[in-house]
A and B are shown apart, each in its own frame.
Chain A
Amino acid sequence: MYSMKWPESAPMRGGLEAVIGAVSDVAERSFFAMVESCDGDRFAELTAAHRDWLSASVSFDEPGCAGMVTCHLPMLLAERLFDAFTGRDPDEPPADVAEVHDLVGEFANMICGSWLTRAANDRTFTLGRPEVRPSAEPVAGGLSLVVDEQPCVVAVAFTRVPEAVTSR
């Protein structure tokens, strides 16, 4: 089971619940996908079924803090999200890799922005361009979620907070 360290000094409303809320909102509204939590054993089982993963990172900067949101998801889920978001007709040719990467980047972008809108106490923020890379497996240290019956890890890493970081 992955866990995410949340610095006490991070000036963000809602903690991890706000992150989960953002993932659910994005997945349901734009991707018609269900988001659930699950226990470590089930998550490990779901994760083991996949070899090809994508990692999408979006940096953020706002007056209170800065950091990065990263989403790790298997290629199978990425392709499903692509179909759902674009409304791809099954008779259309499958998406090419660049399009899937673009879409996963936008997925991460929306999660990051949606979370900051909830959590940043109405401060404006800027987001970096999403960076998407193939990955062999998800990294440790994130929220373990199930999106449309598939594993997805969402991690928030802070690079700047008002006081010294004292992670638990």
Chain B
Amino acid sequence: MRILIVDDSAMMRKMIRRVFALVDVPIDEIHEAGNGAEAMEVLDLHDIDVLLTDINMPVMTGTELLREIARQPRWRHMRRVIISTDGSAARRDEAAGLDVRCYLEKPFSPEVIRDVLNEVA
């Protein structure tokens, strides 16, 4: 499994990576990006199976990233997870229209990341 973590906090990405190292799920590659634009660059270079993305990020938001991904048939297979502080009904409804598999609201414990990974693996 090849994973891309998109969040403008390097420490959030580090925490998620640490959970992945503790989980008994085969992971081949983990890539990181600090915003949606960087994520697009990674997606152009690497095949990604699972995307975890924040919403509120500079340069290109998570919503904009997911809309771009939804437009492209080559990424149809990608399992998409949102990790965001925004748990509003409006944002969740928006996510549902973007083929998001899981909506993970911050704050969360490490175990929640494990459970999400087990679900999308």
Binary flags per residue of B100-111, CB closer than 8 Å to A gives 1, else 0: 000001111110
Interface size class of B (residues with CB under 8 A): 20 to 34
Binary flags per residue of B79-108, CB closer than 8 Å to A gives 1, else 0: 000001111111100100000000001111
Query: Quick check: is A153 within 8 A (CB to CB) of the other chain?
Result: no
Tell me the complex Cα distance, A29–B110, Å. 9
Closest to A120 in B: B88
Query: Quick check: is A117 within 8 A (CB to CB) of the other chain?
Result: yes
Query: Quick check: is B45 within 8 A (CB to CB) of the other chain?
Result: no
Q: A82-B11, A109-B85 are in contact. Are A87 and B18 (CB under 8 A)?
A: yes
A129 touches B58 (CB 8 A): yes
A113 touches B109 (CB 8 A): no
**B56 cross-chain contacts in A, Cβ below 8 A:** 109, 113, 126-127
B86 touches A110 (CB 8 A): no
B88 touches A117 (CB 8 A): yes
B106 touches A113 (CB 8 A): yes
Tell me the complex Cα distance, A105–B14, Å. 14
**A120 cross-chain contacts in B, Cβ below 8 A:** 88
Tell me the complex Cα distance, A130–B121, Å. 32
B85 touches A122 (CB 8 A): no
**A26 cross-chain contacts in B, Cβ below 8 A:** 106-107
- Residue among A99, A105, A114 with most chain B CB within 10 A: A114
A87 touches B90 (CB 8 A): no
**B18 cross-chain contacts in A, Cβ below 8 A:** 86-87
Closest to A95 in B: B11
| A123 smallest CB distance to B (angstroms) | 6
B11 touches A86 (CB 8 A): yes
Query: Quick check: is A147 within 8 A (CB to CB) of the other chain?
Result: no
Tell me the complex Cα distance, A112–B87, Å. 12
Query: Quick check: is B9 within 8 A (CB to CB) of the other chain?
Result: yes
Closest to B112 in A: A29
Q: Which 7 A-B pairs have the closest CB atoms?
A: A113-B85, A30-B107, A117-B87, A29-B107, A106-B9, A127-B56, A103-B11
Q: Interface of B with A (CB < 8 Å)?
A: 8-12, 14-15, 18, 56, 58, 84-91, 94, 105-110
Q: List 23 A-B contacts (CB under 8 A).
A: A29-B107, A29-B109, A30-B106, A30-B108, A85-B11, A86-B18, A102-B11, A106-B9, A106-B11, A106-B12, A110-B85, A113-B56, A113-B84, A113-B86, A113-B87, A114-B107, A122-B88, A122-B89, A124-B86, A124-B94, A127-B85, A129-B8, A129-B58
